[in-house]
């Protein structure tokens, strides 16, 4: 009879402590662990990065806060800024056991459990929203509200979101964030265009809703507001002020497609986005 293999699955790291409330204050208030709901047999549970920690209040005495002669677990944590993490713990009077400049340092929890803190080698980004950014080119003005962006947790630098999709079955958008916005503006606010051989190179314009013919000269500036909800991102809004034509049948306003209009939209977007990414300190999460 074949023997079944045994597979062990990780669950959590249990930390025996002498004072549960004190340890809770350290892991939650100093290290930033997130408390998990429930009470497992009198223990308190936290999530710290990828670790699940279980504080069990049954230790009789603390550890001596030094490399032990006997075996014991040592927590390994990573941070985006090692110097800031070191200063953060010193200000809160956390014991620093060893300091290896620029690489890692050893600290201890309230019961002397050793914690290695290392400088992360990979750059991490957090999702933020930028309240309002605007740009203009000629008669076209574009304003972005609650625009999503990515901010480096190490340097604070802000960059555009990537791999945009509107639906789960979409392929990631083949272009940058500015092109994505330009396509969405023209799709939601722009007219259809037709080229007839006998009238080349003249363009004819149609309403994108009812296909009625449009006048080929914009009569007035109109303000369009569209909402965008890419997959896995919060909803944000784009306001476009641009010359438009009015459909004689459904009375909708349409931006008439032309190389000049698209170029003006691109320039207005570039101005708004460059301001956002060049000034990360003015962004808000």
| 41-87 pLDDT tens trace | 789 999 998 899 999 999 998 888 777 667 788 999 998 888 889 99
- Does residue 89 sit in helix, strand or coil? helix
What's the rounded Cα separation, in Å, for the pair 51 and 46? 8
Residue ending a domain, among 101, 119, 137, is: 119
pLDDT of residue 280: 41
Q: Could you give the residue ranges of the DSSP H alpha helices within 7-76? A: 20-24
Domain of 59, in residue numbers: 13-119
| 36-40, 111-115, 124-128: range with highest mean pLDDT | 111-115
Same domain, 142 and 264: yes
CB 180 within 8 A of CB 233: no
Could you tell me which residues are beta bridge partners of residue 206?
192, 213
What's the rounded Cα separation, in Å, for the pair 136 and 120? 40
Looking at residue 25, the DSSP 8-state letter turns out to be: I
Same domain, 93 and 131: no
Total domains, the chain: 2
Residue ending a domain, among 88, 119, 150, is: 119
Same domain, 114 and 211: no
- Does residue 165 sit in helix, strand or coil? coil
Strands 51-56 and 13-16: parallel
6 occurs within a structural domain: no
Give the position of tokens 């979101």.
Answer: 161
The secondary element (H helix, E strand) that includes residue 277 is helix 259-278
Contacts of 161 (CB under 8 A, 6+ apart): 127, 148, 149, 150, 177, 230, 233
Helix, strand and coil percent figures for the chain, each rounded to 5: 20, 35, 45
Binned at pLDDT 50, 70 and 90, residue 12 comes out as confident
Binned at pLDDT 50, 70 and 90, residue 30 comes out as very high
What's the rounded Cα separation, in Å, for the pair 257 and 216? 10
Mean pLDDT over 25-49 rounds to 89
- Residue 5 clears pLDDT 90, i.e. is over it: no
Same domain, 81 and 151: no
What's the rounded Cα separation, in Å, for the pair 259 and 257? 7
- Give percent above pLDDT 70 in the chain: 93
Of 124, 105, 147, 104, residue with least CA distance to 50: 124
pLDDT of residue 198: 59
pLDDT of residue 34: 93
Give the position of tokens 């402590």.
Answer: 17
pLDDT of residue 195: 66
Same domain, 90 and 138: no
- Give percent above pLDDT 90 in the chain: 54
Residue ending a domain, among 119, 142, 177, is: 119
Same domain, 138 and 263: yes
Q: CA-based diameter of the chain, in Å?
A: 94
Give one DSSP letter per residue of 176-199, joined into a string: -HHHHHHHHHHHHHBPEEEE-GGG
Minimum mean pLDDT among 23-32, 49-58, 97-106, 184-193: which range? Answer: 97-106
Integer-rounded Cα radius of gyration of the chain = 29
Same domain, 71 and 109: yes
pLDDT of residue 199: 57
What's the rounded Cα separation, in Å, for the pair 14 and 29? 19
60 occurs within a structural domain: yes
- Residue 122 clears pLDDT 80, i.e. is over it: no
Same domain, 161 and 253: yes
Same domain, 25 and 157: no
pLDDT of residue 192: 87
Token pair listed for 1: 């009879």
Strands 114-119 and 75-79: parallel
- Residue 106 clears pLDDT 80, i.e. is over it: yes
Binned at pLDDT 50, 70 and 90, residue 33 comes out as very high
7 occurs within a structural domain: no
- Residue 283 clears pLDDT 50, i.e. is over it: no
Token pair listed for 277: 């990414």
Same domain, 210 and 93: no
- Does residue 134 sit in helix, strand or coil? strand
96 occurs within a structural domain: yes
What pLDDT digit, counting tens, does each position of 161-207 carry? Answer: 988 998 888 888 888 999 999 999 999 999 988 766 655 667 788 88
What's the rounded Cα separation, in Å, for the pair 261 and 259? 6
CATH code where residue 89 lies: 3.10.180.10
Token pair listed for 142: 């574009």
pLDDT of residue 270: 94
Same domain, 27 and 66: yes
Same domain, 113 and 129: no
241 occurs within a structural domain: yes
Looking at residue 254, the DSSP 8-state letter turns out to be: E
């Amino acid at each position: 009879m074949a023997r079944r293999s045994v597979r062990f699955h990780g669950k959590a790291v249990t930390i025996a402590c002498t004072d549960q409330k004190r340890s809770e204050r350290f892991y939650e208030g100093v290290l930033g662990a997130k408390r998990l709901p429930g009470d497992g047999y009198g223990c308190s549970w936290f999530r710290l990065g990828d670790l699940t920690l279980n504080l069990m209040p049954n230790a009789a005495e603390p550890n001596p806060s030094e490399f032990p002669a006997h075996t014991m677990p040592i927590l390994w944590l990573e941070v985006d800024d090692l110097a800031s993490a070191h200063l953060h713990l010193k200000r809160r009077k956390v014991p620093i056991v060893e300091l290896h400049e620029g690489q890692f340092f050893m600290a201890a929890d309230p019961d002397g459990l050793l914690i290695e803190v290392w400088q992360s080698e990979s750059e991490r980004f957090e999702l933020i929203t930028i309240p309002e950014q605007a740009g203009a080119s000629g008669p076209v003005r574009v304003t972005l509200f609650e625009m999503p962006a990515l901010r480096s947790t190490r340097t604070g630098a802000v960059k555009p979101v990537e791999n945009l999709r509107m639906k789960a079955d979409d392929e990631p958008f083949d272009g940058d964030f500015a092109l994505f916005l330009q396509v969405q503006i023209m799709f939601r606010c722009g007219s259809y265009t037709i080229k007839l051989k006998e009238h080349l190179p003249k363009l004819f314009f149609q309403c994108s809703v009812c296909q009625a013919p449009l006048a080929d000269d914009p009569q007035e500036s109109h303000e369009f507001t569209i909402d965008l909800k890419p997959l896995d991102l919060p909803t944000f809004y784009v306001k476009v002020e641009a010359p438009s034509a009015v459909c004689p049948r459904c009375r909708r306003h349409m931006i008439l497609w032309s190389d000049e209009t698209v170029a003006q939209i691109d320039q207005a977007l570039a101005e708004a986005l460059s301001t956002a990414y060049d000034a990360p300190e003015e962004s808000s999460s």
